[in-house]
Structure 1
């Protein structure tokens, strides 16, 4: 597992310089791809894409498991008939508007010409940059280009308990390569981060640092974390687009969604190609379009259908036929509904996470620390006999903060006051009347060692799932 790290310092300096240039332009600079657009416009542009092709193609293509052995040599990656133009034409036949390719999956094999590691496609029999082949082919068909990238990387030990600053630099350099060498990238889907199975938190690999690096290189590139399922569907936590991996049981609400969203599903039984694929029926084209793409598009949701190339680097005939059938059913072109807009995504670390909490009386099974346990499925619940409930988080030292996010178990609280404790005195911060389940408050930088909510109006017994405190970079 030899890794080349000699260019990290150069990349870090380059990234910083790009960021300075971007910030100096106050968001109105020009990129190689054109003018910088607002985040809300980029989100709407993504919704308008409507229907795309997810392309899982990597080491797992050559194995019987979607989670490839991280020790297998590059020699097994050998798509002798690789034809990305076939992929692009297949996407076009389905009236898809863009693609998204797995540049690196969880086993750590990079299918582009990276300088960060020898564990890449240039040391395989193919010796060809698959990302380059893909972007060129899709652009030739006037299709948009997105990329997938896994933070979890078992080959390079980017996993719980082993992550070092060297690993974080490697991630930054790999993303810099992908966002610098292949033209305009519409969106970057990130996987293996803050998921129950990956257990790599947004603190282990700092989300805000990675997010701002991406935006410093390509300001219009949307950052989409595929593992945002634990977060409430009413707000954008650690993502520009709310993602729903339907195969993992994540389903968007067709009645209540108000966020720009992505729903993804594989056409076959697995994400990566398996030997049974050519002789096994694919999922119904009618269902993929009439029960997914079309209705999702009407609720601000883009549908991304995975089609897995085989070990020769080609899409199987049964999948090609299904895509043609989809093209007869899906007709893009008409304007899609405009999503309502809302607060900017939450991207910084929650400094209240796992901090001590205090509050008015509650039953033992619903005590105060459930509001700071980083689990939206548990809650602090006030005892019904308390008429003026309150909850307090102890940051244990004076800290700077400029955002508070209160997530209730369900919409309930109607009036409240937020205060902070500094120099032995409680000071007023905000008087709130926000009635939604997730109440996001951004304000000028403040300092304090404690923060509390005094609840003055509510319909039912107050219940807070998470009381988040953040110090955003501004």
Structure 2
């Protein structure tokens, strides 16, 4: 049986804590109605009516290399794609269901192509797999909080065998862990109400997963959903503990700590607009400068950011998303050093931005300029080796201006006479300290 081992845990988490930035991809049949990935539940669509999308599915533009390149050029280090979402449709050739991409007009194992494409770009491979299923006959229908037929008495649960469903679900996860080589992240979704932990036969499941993919990193949603931290945070890790906490559509105010006060790994999963799956009418996209600052915020609090795209049914990432990714990538090419391998600093958040740190480098992220020289509160004068603009490597002098003579113990950076920062989104100062 799998048991928690801190040394092994720390080793498998190394690359993930260094990466800090990933791409989430939600894609499936729901891209055809184009009203988000929960459309079948929200509109209580019967299975028979939903099947028209299965008959139609044919992503003629699907090119996972283009997706992987977009992620890489944005500065992302890993990608996670939905192999199966709650509607039960599989993007891979599962032997346990007919409801899969190989049985559509498409006729292809889309996960196989995706895994090969992501690996070819040198990125880490992540697969999302939901543990709930609105298609399977043995999954609870009537009265379940989310099932599309929850309010329809014609779909009562008499004769449904949940254990049959669990065997099916375990078998499909075994396929994912067996048929596609090394998987770096398994992103399970999600537990709710009484369906948590052992309700999923989670110890048995994790024994199987860890035996097949010993280095895989797993989220905490065998125990939780978007809220809740899980047993690792409680310092009582179960065999099915999550390797990281997965706050959804928010950034924790103070990062996340376990019950003993130690920082633990977490990843904020965030959409670009207001939907995970493609929504044709949702053009409320977060601007790239905002998302860059939110990435910095996550890292400054010891966390990762996984940013979602929802391709259309033909397989194209929306144009708005591509423009945002390109703008983020432009900033990351110059400033990624302040993200990769970085985390929280001992230095408190300044009024004008945030701070990330790595070794003897402290990165001051300036979201706005100051009046007069920039105070680098918390930087010890006796250890200051130099200040550089991270984007260009140009030296930033230490200010000797009389205007801050009342604050002799604080280091001030002299950015010159121009009140407009070189990068109005985030100008990063690399403050280099001598070793302690």
TM range (shorter): 0.5 to 0.7
Partner of 1:285: 288
Provide the TM-score with structure 2 as the length reference: 0.64
Partner of 2:178: 180
Q: Which stretch shows the higher mean deviation, 75-84 or 301-310?
A: 75-84
Q: Distance in 1 between matches of 2:161 and 2:22?
A: 33
**Counterpart pick for 1:67 among 27, 35, 38:** 38
Partner of 2:81: 101
Please report how far the alpha carbon of residue 163 of structure 1 lies from its aligned counterpart in structure 2 after TM superposition.
Answer: 4.8
Q: Distance in 1 between matches of 2:197 and 2:255?
A: 30
Q: Distance in 2 between matches of 1:244 and 1:113?
A: 31
Task: Quickly say closer, same or farther: Cα 1:126–1:204, change in 2 above 3 A.
Answer: same
Please report how far the alpha carbon of residue 92 of structure 1 lies from its aligned counterpart in structure 2 after TM superposition.
Answer: 1.2
Whether contact under 8 Å (1:44, 1:338) holds in the other structure is no
Whether contact under 8 Å (2:220, 2:229) holds in the other structure is no
Please report how far the alpha carbon of residue 228 of structure 1 lies from its aligned counterpart in structure 2 after TM superposition.
Answer: 5.7
1:200-349 matches, within 5 Å, as 200-226=195-221, 227=225, 229-231=227-229, 234-235=233-234, 238-246=241-249, 250-254=250-254, 257=257, 258-277=263-282, 280=283, 282-290=285-293, 292-330=294-332, 331-333=335-337, 334-337=340-343
Partner of 2:27: 57
Gaps of 5+ in 1: 1-18, 28-36, 340-474
Give the paired residue count: 300
Q: Distance in 2 between matches of 1:293 and 1:145?
A: 20
Q: Distance in 2 between matches of 1:65 and 1:54?
A: 15
Please report how far the alpha carbon of residue 45 of structure 1 lies from its aligned counterpart in structure 2 after TM superposition.
Answer: 2.3
Provide the TM-score with structure 1 as the length reference: 0.59
Q: Distance in 1 between matches of 2:127 and 2:32?
A: 21
1:40-55 matches, within 5 Å, as 40-55=10-25
1:385-422 Cα deviation digits (max 9, x unpaired): xxxxxxxxxxxxxxxxxxxxxxxxxxxxxxxxxxxxxx
SS in 2 for 1:134: helix
Q: Distance in 2 between matches of 1:143 and 1:316?
A: 21
Q: Distance in 2 between matches of 1:336 and 1:134?
A: 29
Q: Distance in 2 between matches of 1:121 and 1:62?
A: 14
Q: Which stretch shows the higher mean deviation, 210-219 or 328-337?
A: 328-337
Please report how far the alpha carbon of residue 94 of structure 1 lies from its aligned counterpart in structure 2 after TM superposition.
Answer: 0.7
Please report how far the alpha carbon of residue 68 of structure 1 lies from its aligned counterpart in structure 2 after TM superposition.
Answer: 4.3
**Counterpart pick for 1:158 among 121, 129, 139:** 139
CA-atom RMSD in angstroms: 2.7
Partner of 2:371: none
Q: Distance in 1 between matches of 2:111 and 2:214?
A: 21
Whether contact under 8 Å (1:122, 1:128) holds in the other structure is yes
Whether contact under 8 Å (2:89, 2:99) holds in the other structure is yes
Task: Quickly say closer, same or farther: Cα 1:95–1:251, change in 2 above 3 A.
Answer: closer
Whether contact under 8 Å (2:28, 2:313) holds in the other structure is no
Task: Quickly say closer, same or farther: Cα 1:338–1:298, change in 2 above 3 A.
Answer: closer
Task: Quickly say closer, same or farther: Cα 1:255–1:178, change in 2 above 3 A.
Answer: closer
Whether contact under 8 Å (1:151, 1:158) holds in the other structure is no
Q: Distance in 2 between matches of 1:313 and 1:153?
A: 23
Q: Which stretch shows the higher mean deviation, 141-150 or 77-86?
A: 77-86
Q: Distance in 2 between matches of 1:203 and 1:163?
A: 16
1:83-122 matches, within 5 Å, as 83-122=63-102
Hey, which of these two has a bigger chunk of strand by percent? 1
Q: Distance in 1 between matches of 2:298 and 2:234?
A: 18
Q: Distance in 1 between matches of 2:284 and 2:253?
A: 28
Please report how far the alpha carbon of residue 230 of structure 1 lies from its aligned counterpart in structure 2 after TM superposition.
Answer: 3.1
Whether contact under 8 Å (2:36, 2:278) holds in the other structure is no
